[in-house]
Amino acid sequence: MFATSPAKIGIDAGELSGSTTTGVTATDSIDDIIALAPDCVLYMAAALDAAEVTRLLEAGINIVTTRGEFHRPASMDAELRDRIERACRVGGASIHSTGSSPGFISEALPLVLASIQRRIDQITIDEFADLSQRDSPDLLFEVMGFGAAAQEFADYRLEYLRGSFGPSLELLAESLGVPLDSVEVAGEVGVTTREVTIAAGVLLEGTVGAQRITVSGMRDGRPVLRFRANWYCTADVEPQWDLLATGWRVVVDGDAPLSVDVNMPIPLDRMAETTPGYTANRAVNAVAAVCAADPGIRTSVELPQIIAQLLPLDAPIR
């Protein structure tokens, strides 16, 4: 296991994850990982290190990653794409990017729902996150702007969502035969109708209590695909929005209309310990398909349906 924190080096992976001893210890050396000659690694770094990725691929090690740079090769920086594709050819390895969002909810599930359509007018993916019990004042108040006076969204926040979900929507559109003309992004807020106390502090009346960022895939002047991030600390806001519990809603407007809600039936105080699995589990389950794939940057459209590699029924759930 590769780690970047000096405090973790030499510690058993089981101890670091709160599980039983595994015999796998943390290292900060890519050379150590390559020397093990694994079939595949899970690359879940907080920031992309292209040198690390290329070394792994050149050594013939497949990669499944939760990094968002690899959802759609055509959306990648040209230099990075050339570098990664060259490494894949040298090592005969493949790399695939997935996760819960983007990934499962913006690619896998919409493709399944589209399979019973013959005409699609629009697909809207709403993501809902109730942050009222998240005790992270710096994130909510300083970074996200909850509890502040309503104002324009900072460009970097809008561009972050465009960069995260735009390539995924473009991949989905192309797979359905309706390539996009452009990807647009816009933000809006809901202000509190009363003073509200949340885990992270107090939201005064008339301040930001909910926010929505919409990434729209445009074709012929109208949105055919939309991803909307609905993040809120209270539902008592104006204007009133249809805010669901944490999870997703996918609406397909077509000749076989569908509206599918996918909720996370977890108490809010357990979200932090449970939700990482929604992202990590799909990556783990994709390993077999990625190892079997042809060398290169492989997308959700190119891989077969991801079939879960389940743990034994008597295995502890952590």
The pLDDT, as a whole number, for residue 54 is 98
The pLDDT, as a whole number, for residue 220 is 97
The pLDDT, as a whole number, for residue 316 is 57
pLDDT at 96 over 90: yes
3-state secondary structure of 279: helix
Each residue of 193-202: pLDDT tens digit? 999 999 999 9
AA letter at 189? V
Each residue of 119-145: pLDDT tens digit? 999 999 999 999 999 999 999 999 999
Q: What is the mean pLDDT of the chain?
A: 94
From 2-6, 134-138, 159-163, 180-184, the region with the lowest mean pLDDT: 2-6
The pLDDT, as a whole number, for residue 318 is 52
C-alpha distances (whole Å) from 57 to each of 51, 81, 260, 291, 292 are: 10, 13, 38, 12, 14
CB 219 within 8 A of CB 178: yes
CB 274 within 8 A of CB 253: no
For 298, counting Cβ atoms within 10 Å of its Cβ (0-12 exposed, 13-18 middle, 19+ buried), the class is buried
Say what percent of the chain tops pLDDT 90: 84
The pLDDT, as a whole number, for residue 310 is 85
Residue range 279-300: average pLDDT?
97
Other beta carbons within 10 Å of 149: 11
The pLDDT, as a whole number, for residue 17 is 77
Each residue of 18-36: pLDDT tens digit? 778 888 888 889 999 999 9
Instruction: Domain 104-269: state its class.
Output: alpha beta
Q: What are the domain boundaries of the chain?
A: 6-100+277-298, 104-269
Say what percent of the chain tops pLDDT 70: 98
Residue range 164-169: average pLDDT?
97
Instruction: Domain 6-100+277-298: state its class.
Output: alpha beta
CB 63 within 8 A of CB 56: yes
Per-residue tokens: 219: 């074709």
Closest CA to 130 of 269, 245, 273: 245
